[in-house]
Chains A and B, each alone.
Chain A
């Protein structure tokens, strides 16, 4: 028995002697205030958050590393006076030369952010595992996660009607239970990705919906200053209510141009068209398949005032920002970034073209007698500043000008919507 103990003690001492951990810890204070007037289609509200985080890090051979980070927070909102949450608990290991020189395997496990290449389908903290196989020029990512252990206010996994109903229900403790899987292969210029989510609610009598997504995405370079972001995703789904299962088909597409010019006061501009449709001509050729809204796993926030669901929607997004004092040696003034943006919203035109009926979208004060496609325009202006490394500020205001009138998309009582969002972020 004694020799075994001695060998174990020796092994422990040897392994411990190989470690030289670095650690860091800190406190973050975040405040987000949302003021609105008129009719707005967003769910933003004032929120105050204090978070404590800690990290242990160790470098290994050939540029590898082991990293453990955790963050817990206390959050206050008017609806929920206290939310104590585990925001992040992530182990990540980088293991170089796993498949030869110039390759690495990156393993991440725990509670961490998962997102797809577009960030329009999935962008959410989840509990799971992610493996990245890194090669020069491209990478392969495989991930699996579960959303049912997230607190309901922290979860943005909203797909079925029940998910949306529960979003503001204080009696529901955890967010929707879903298993989410992801596979990705590609580079900056071209990538193929597949995602799927499986509803784990069980037989509740409500809608059980599973969805799968297969798509391409990339941001190839056009010239030294221009890039061409694009993405195209086909989605297939199965919606079961009671004994009836309906197959769903929908699509999401986007195309744009991005401009960067660091020498022109760090100028950045973009024009992007995004289209989410549930009515593809394909369905007309197939039996037993219904068209339906495009349903992302975690719905993105599109606008400040007007933020409809990404379904049956076509919108143009243009924006410009710059840092007027980018070359100033003082980081206080060089990190001030004014920005302007505009978003022009339309209903999905295909249903009206093919059947005469307008596409249905879920927003306030829609005119039921109108088939108009144009919904309105949101104009946004603001300033983002990182005054110090430990203090940041964002002030953004927006106005939504709806298309109203007897034949317009909105009823005439829908007025102009205004919103002002002020975020302050500090680190101690």
Chain B
């Protein structure tokens, strides 16, 4: 009898939780140039147009000169040319609007805002870094982030994070601690003339500057 009672309570809780989860929608407000969408579980790409709704797990791809503006609730995303962006999660649960995006390549500019009565949990994962924000504006290519408003928690692949403030830049290129503060600003503004100082940065993770006369890949399988 007790077991039935516990099961009923758990089931009720799950139903109530499920009822509280609301799926948000992402809508393409502006489309310029070549912009395509690949729906989940589909291999083909279809041309995107203004007003089109983008389903969860769909991937947006912009070509040379292509760009799009995506609206997700109160947040707006400008997708720059040569970008691939997948919408992994777009939900509202317990007054938290949760957005989870994956960008393997490219650049976006985000203006993350909350609707009245809700808080926003916005996460952008890139090849090297993750940006987690709650109401801010930033631009990122998945390795580097520039923040225009408020604060972004910027994490490297290994999960070590640093706060990047309004006006600042964060860089995560080696998997360790992300670089922020004056160090990252120095990298933004100063020109390093020495090619020797970037020895070894051409492979592995991070900025592939392609230095060196050759690249080899050895795979043991």
Contacts and interface: CB of A to CB of B under 8 A. Distances in A.
Contacts, number: 207
A103 interface: yes
Nearest to B163: A137
A425 interface: yes
A65 B199 contact: no
Contacts of A28: 195-196, 199
Contact of B168 (A25, A106, A221, A385): A221
B216 interface: yes
How many chain A residues sit at the interface, stated as a range, is 35 or more
Nearest to A394: B193
A176 interface: no
A225 interface: yes
Interface stretch (B7-15, B110-118, B184-192): B184-192
Contact of A392 (B163, B175, B194, B220): B194
B213 A26 contact: yes
B158 A268 contact: no
Contacts of A423: 193-194
B219 interface: yes
A372 B113 CA distance: 61
B199 A71 contact: yes
Interface string B123-139: 00000000000000000
Interface in B198-220: 199-200, 202-205, 209-220
B216 A24 contact: yes
A219 B182 contact: yes
Given A23-B215, A104-B158, A425-B194, A67 B204 contact: yes
B177 interface: yes
A165 interface: no
A94 B175 contact: yes
Contact of A51 (B146, B177, B196): B196
Interface of A: 16-28, 30, 51, 53, 55, 57, 59, 62-65, 67, 69, 71, 88, 94, 96-97, 101-104, 106, 132, 134-137, 139, 188-189, 219, 221, 223-225, 227, 229, 258, 260, 262, 266-268, 321-323, 335-337, 384-386, 389-394, 423, 425-428
Given A24-B212, A384-B190, 17 more contacts: A17-B220, A19-B220, A20-B221, A64-B158, A94-B176, A104-B158, A136-B161, A188-B182, A221-B181, A221-B182, A260-B186, A260-B189, A262-B188, A267-B189, A268-B189, A384-B193, A389-B209
Interface of B: 146, 155-163, 165-169, 174-177, 180-183, 185-186, 188-196, 199-200, 202-205, 209-221
